[in-house]
């Protein structure tokens, strides 16, 4: 779709004014905003042409126009000029990530919450686990007479634990024996290798103790699977309830975002750095009046991290896109550093 220079300026002005005010924009307002030698009648004619092309809509019989989803798409692809992040904003984001020995789960949660608070939108942070991640250590910790804590620590910094009731008297000697035995057979193996069949083979190797330790081995298998399945966090979902233009689907969308797999399915497939899906470009009906902005990032050598922003189509794209890119960059760098440190230790 080709637009001449004046129509591009008019469309850009309408979108940016509507994004700022939420009100339909008329030709007189455009004439006041733009430094072009054109009469209000000429601007009205151009606005009518943009309307015929599907780039503008007329919500009611007033003279004002609002951008359509197609108009926003054209704006993002051809007219938008990203606003650079200020040094103060960079410092503020970097301060959030300036932590020692970060826990990956908490890091993803904090990043998603900070981005949701900044944008007043919903956010999703998720990771898939790189194939090179392995079990670093298994630890069995006595908790009570017949209760232990089983802990799995992975090479990417992920730590998962579970409280288990057991059918034997817990002693320090038993915990040390199990920890040593489990580490001999599991530490150093990739998470993908820790299958149900492999755990059964480890159980068989316990000999007479097989039945005694079945519960613990089953817990290890579950914890390894949790780490291998990756991390997921959704924050700021109730922010969506405050947008009038999303009221038809916002409650359904909030419910959808509370379900891990359905929320992840909302994110477009593909190997990209940043992708913006506007309105009906999204695959889900619940997103038909929303925009999804997704930034992907590397953890180590694998592009397996995702940070997504979900909000109204009337977003301040020039500001929000650079921010989500910077958030994703910092998140990926810190998670990569954490994984590298775990490899070296």
What is the domain-level CATH number for residue 176?
A: 3.30.390.60
109 occurs within a structural domain? yes
Do 153 and 240 belong to one domain?
Answer: no
Spatial distance between the Cα atoms of 250 and 237, rounded to a whole number of angstroms = 9
Other Cβ atoms less than 10 A from the Cβ of 277: the count is: 20
CATH number of the domain bearing residue 21 = 1.10.10.10
Give the residue from 321, 338, 328, 330 showing the smallest Cα distance to 82: 321
Tell whether 250 and 123 lie within a shared domain. yes
Number of separate domains in the chain: 3
Q: Which of 79, 103, 119 is the last residue of a domain?
A: 79
Looking at mean pLDDT, say which of 21-35, 138-152, 248-262, 270-284 comes out highest: 138-152
Query: Are 222 and 235 contained in the same domain?
Result: no
pLDDT in tens, 202-226: 888 888 777 888 889 999 999 999 9
> Is 314 domain-assigned?
yes
Which of 228, 255, 270 is the C-terminal boundary of a domain? 228
- Side-chain-side CA neighbours of 281 within 13 Å: the count stands at 19
Same domain, 234 and 124: yes
pLDDT of 92 higher than 60: yes
CA dihedral sign, ordered 194, 200, 204, 209: positive
Find out whether 191 and 154 touch, Cβ atoms under 8 Å: yes
Contact criterion met (CB below 8 Å) for 238 and 123:
no
Q: How confident is the model at residue 63 (pLDDT cuts 50, 70, 90)?
A: low
What is the predicted pLDDT for the residue at 102?
A: 65
Of 203, 161, 162, 163, the C-alpha closest to 182 is: 203
100 pLDDT more than 80: no
pLDDT at 291 over 70: yes
122 in the same domain as 72: no
pLDDT digits (tens, 9 = 90+) for 68-82: 999 999 999 999 999
Q: What's the pLDDT score for residue 128?
A: 83
293 plus 335 within the same structural domain = yes
Domain boundary residue among 177, 201, 228? 228
Mean pLDDT calculated for residue range 294-311? 88
Q: Is residue 260 part of a domain?
A: yes
**Total residues belonging to the chain:** 345
Comparing 286 with 70, the larger pLDDT belongs to 70
Q: Do 108 and 238 share a domain, yes or no?
A: yes
117 and 201 in one domain? no
The first and second tokens of residue 173, run together, are 């000697």
Co-location of 269 and 337 in the same domain: yes
**Is residue 84 domain-resident?**
no
d(CA 308, CA 115): 10
Secondary element (H or E) of residue 137: strand 135-144
Residue 193 lies in a domain: yes
In a domain, 234, yes or no: yes
Stretch among 100-114, 176-190, 229-243 having the lowest mean pLDDT = 100-114
Q: Are residues 241 and 336 in the same domain?
A: yes
* Over residues 168-192, mean pLDDT: 92
Q: Which domain holds residue 94?
A: 89-128+230-344
Per-residue tokens: 280? 């009906």
* CATH label of the domain that carries residue 294: 3.30.450.40
Asked if residue 237 and residue 272 are part of one domain, the reply reads yes
Domain presence at residue 184? yes
Looking at the structure, do residues 124 and 234 belong to the same domain, yes or no? yes
């Amino acid at each position: 779709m080709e637009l001449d220079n004046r129509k591009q300026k008019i469309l850009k002005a309408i979108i940016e004014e509507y994004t700022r005010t939420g009100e339909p924009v008329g030709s007189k307002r455009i004439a006041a905003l733009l430094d072009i030698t054109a009469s209000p009648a000429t601007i009205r004619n151009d606005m009518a042409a943009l309307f015929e092309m599907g780039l503008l809509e007329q919500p009611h019989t007033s003279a004002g126009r609002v951008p359509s989803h197609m108009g926003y798409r054209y704006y993002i692809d051809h007219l938008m000029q990203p606003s650079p992040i200020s040094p103060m904003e960079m410092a503020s984001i970097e301060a959030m990530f300036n932590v020692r020995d970060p826990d990956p789960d908490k890091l993803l949660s904090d990043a998603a919450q900070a981005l949701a608070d900044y944008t007043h939108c919903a956010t999703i942070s998720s990771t898939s686990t790189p194939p090179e991640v392995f079990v670093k250590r298994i630890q069995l910790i006595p908790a009570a007479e017949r209760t232990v804590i089983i802990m799995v620590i992975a090479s990417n910094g992920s730590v998962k634990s579970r409280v288990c009731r057991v059918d034997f008297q817990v002693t320090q000697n038993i915990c040390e024996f199990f920890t040593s035995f489990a580490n001999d057979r599991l530490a150093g193996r990739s998470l993908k290798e820790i299958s149900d069949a492999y755990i059964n083979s480890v159980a068989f190797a316990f000999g007479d103790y097989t039945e005694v330790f079945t519960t613990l081995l089953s817990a290890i298998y579950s914890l390894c699977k949790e780490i291998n399945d990756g991390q997921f966090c959704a924050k700021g979902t109730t922010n969506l309830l405050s947008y009038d233009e999303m009221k038809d689907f916002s409650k359904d969308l909030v419910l959808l975002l509370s379900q891990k797999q359905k929320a992840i399915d909302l994110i477009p497939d593909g190997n990209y750095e940043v992708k913006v899906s506007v309105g009906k470009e999204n695959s889900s009906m619940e997103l038909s009046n929303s925009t999804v902005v997704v930034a992907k990032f590397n953890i180590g050598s694998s592009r397996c991290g995702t940070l997504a922003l979900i909000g109204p189509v009337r977003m301040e794209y020039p500001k929000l896109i650079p921010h989500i890119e910077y958030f994703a960059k910092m998140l990926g760098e810190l998670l990569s550093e954490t994984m590298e440190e775990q490899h070296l230790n």
